[in-house]
């Protein structure tokens, strides 16, 4: 069963809020901007993460220094899963945040 448009937006909104909360609670010097459904995380060293919703595909996209990643929502596990590697969003964010900022943050809820 595919996601309805409303459910998709609710899931992306909740995910972006959770990401914002985790970064807000960290000791990192960064800037967060959420505008028109796009969440941008700018690290002190100038690198950034950009989360955007792709409504027609019902995907959450992540742009990072290491590349672009597309996530489908897996209703069975209730997690966003990378469509090319089957890595969970939370696992990937741990790795990418460490690579880009040197910080080891927890994204278990994602």
Q: Which pLDDT tens digit goes with each residue over 44-90?
A: 999 999 999 999 999 999 999 999 999 999 999 999 999 999 999 99
Q: In this structure, are strands 79-82 and 67-74 parallel, antiparallel, or unpaired?
A: antiparallel
**Structural domain span for residue 44:** 5-101
Report yes or no on 106 lying in a domain.
no
pTM of this prediction?
0.94
The answer to whether residue 108 sits within a structural domain is: no
Residue 40 lies in a domain: yes
CATH number for the domain spanning 64: value is 3.30.920.10
Could you say which DSSP state residue 57 is in? G
- Does residue 110 sit within a domain? no
Number of domains forming the structure of the chain: 1
């Amino acid at each position: 069963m595919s996601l309805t448009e409303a459910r998709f937006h609710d899931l992306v909104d909740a995910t972006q809020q959770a990401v914002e909360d985790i970064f807000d609670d960290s000791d990192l010097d960064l800037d967060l901007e959420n505008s028109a459904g796009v969440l941008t995380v700018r690290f002190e060293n100038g690198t950034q993460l950009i989360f955007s919703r792709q409504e027609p595909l019902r995907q959450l996209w992540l742009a990072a220094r290491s590349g672009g990643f597309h996530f489908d929502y897996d209703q069975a596990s209730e997690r966003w899963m990378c469509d090319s590697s089957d890595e969970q969003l939370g696992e990937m964010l741990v790795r990418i945040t460490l690579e880009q900022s040197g910080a080891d943050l927890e994204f278990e809820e994602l």
